[in-house]
Amino acid sequence: MSGPLLSVQAVHRSFGTGPAAVHALRDVSFEVEPGTMVALVGRSGSGKTTLLNVIGGLDRPDSGTVVVDGLDLGGLDEDGLSRLRRERVSYIFQTFGLIPVLSAAENVGVPLRLARADPARREQRVAQLLGLVGLDGHAQQRPGELSGGQQQRVAIARALAASPRLLIADEPTGQLDAETGLAVMALLRGVVESEGVTAVVATHDPVMMALADRVIRITDGRVTP
């Protein structure tokens, strides 16, 4: 398929009604080509997370269209959105979002379980991804036994497990120290290239911006040049 992997057109999203309404997104439009890494930057409250939620189908826009990998999210019901997230879109969160009682390998395998992947293929893929993020020797450790950076690596591996087309990361280095954050950013950059995935990363970090193929600035809910 040619064309943009992600197309956001004239998206509006507001919360509340009347004078107290908060306009989180106003007429946001942009496109992202496949295999690129886009840094979404803006101040706190500028609408970055709202935009990521809309892109990933976690939230629906009041108006406008979002097309991911050729799928218009507006036409999908809840099950369709779930399928989208299971097969085409993955998330990486600031707080990692790992299941504490599962090992690193088991956490990475969660999307594959949801996709009902064959156990053998799952184990193979998990091992491959843990190797990719540099955690070969930590497969059986639980999140509590890993450092913050290692946990985020596990989260990245998990996000890649189902071979998504679009990777959405919301402040992925927000809870990490500078050095670890840098390593995670480099890893993200690497997996975008090695896995051929498209990534939209919300960040404040100038290093991340430098690593991105493109930077989209958002101010008060509007994409600014």
Partner 1 sequence: MRIRWPRLHWPSVRGRARADAGPLLLTAGVVTAVVLLAGSTPPLIRQTSDDATRDAVRRAADDAAVRVEAEWPDDYGPNGGRMRSPQLAADVSDVAARAAGELDPTLSSALRPPVTSVSSVSLMITDGSVQRRLRLEYLGTPTGQPAVTWVAGRAPGPSTTDEFLEIPLAGPPWPVQVGLSEADAAALGVGPGDRIPVQDERRTPYDVRVTGVFRPADATDPAWSAAPWVLQPAANRDGLGSTRIGALLSPESLPDARLALRSDQLTRVVRFDADPTALTWQSAQALATSVAGLKGGSAVSAERDPSFKWSTRLDSVLADLRDQIATTSAQASVLLLGLLAAALLVLALTADLLTRRRAAALTTARHRGASLPGLAAELTVEAVAVAGPATLLGLALAVALTGSASLTWVAPFVIIALGAVPAFGTVTAARATRDRRTPANRSARRRQRHTGLIRRVALDAAVVAVAAAALVALHQRGLGAGTGGDGALPAAAPALGAVAVTLLLARMLPIATGLVLRFALRSRHPLVLFGAARAAATSARVLPAVALTTALAVGAFSITLYATTQRGLVDGAWQTTGADARLDISSDAPGSSAGVAGRIAAAPGVRHAVEAEVNDNARFIADSTSVPARLIIVDTEAFGRLLADTPLPGLPASAALTATRDGAVPALVRTADGSLTPGVQFRLPVVTNQSIALTAVGAAPALGSGEDTVVIDSRTATAAGLTVEPNTVWATGPGAAQAIRAAGTDGRLTIRTEVLDERRTAPLTSALARLCLIAALVLLGLSVLGFALAAAANAPARWETLARLRTLGLRPRDTRRVAAGELVPATLFAAVLAPPLGALLAGLAAGPLGLRLLTRQASPPTTVTPWWTIEAVTLAVLVVALIGTVAAESATRRRRRLGETLRVGDR
Least distance from C-beta 225 to partner 1, angstroms?
Answer: 27
Check binding of 53 to partner 1 (CB under 8 A): yes
* Pair 148, 172: CB distance under 8 Å: no
The stretch among 84-92, 125-133, 178-186, 214-222 that binds partner 1 (CB under 8 A) is 84-92
* Pair 55, 74: CB distance under 8 Å: no
Among 97, 134, 148, 190, binds partner 1 (CB under 8 A): 97
Judged by CB, which is closer to partner 1: 87, or 213?
Answer: 87
Check binding of 205 to partner 1 (CB under 8 A): no
Among 32, 91, 200, 205, binds partner 1 (CB under 8 A): 91
Question: Would you call 55 helix, strand, or coil by DSSP?
Answer: helix
Judged by CB, which is closer to partner 1: 2, or 44?
Answer: 44
Between residue 104 and residue 163, which ones bind partner 1 under the rule CB under 8 A? 106, 110-111, 113-116, 119, 158, 162
What's the rounded Cα separation, in Å, for the pair 164 and 84?
A: 9
Query: Cα dihedral angle (13, 37, 132, 120), rounded to 10 degrees?
Result: 50
**Among 189, 167, 173, 169, residue whose Cα is nearest residue 90:** 167
Check binding of 65 to partner 1 (CB under 8 A): no
CA 83 to centroid of chain Cα atoms: 16
- Nearest 5 degrees, angle CA 131-CA 38-CA 89? 60
Least distance from C-beta 156 to partner 1, angstroms?
Answer: 13
Check binding of 170 to partner 1 (CB under 8 A): yes
Least distance from C-beta 84 to partner 1, angstroms?
Answer: 8
- Secondary structure (DSSP) of 61-83: -SEEEEEETTEEGGG--HHHHHH
**Among 122, 8, 134, residue whose Cα is nearest residue 61:** 8
Contacting residues toward partner 1, per CB under 8 A: 49-50, 53, 56, 58-59, 78-79, 82-83, 85-87, 90-91, 93-95, 97, 99-102, 106, 110-111, 113-116, 119, 158, 162, 170-171
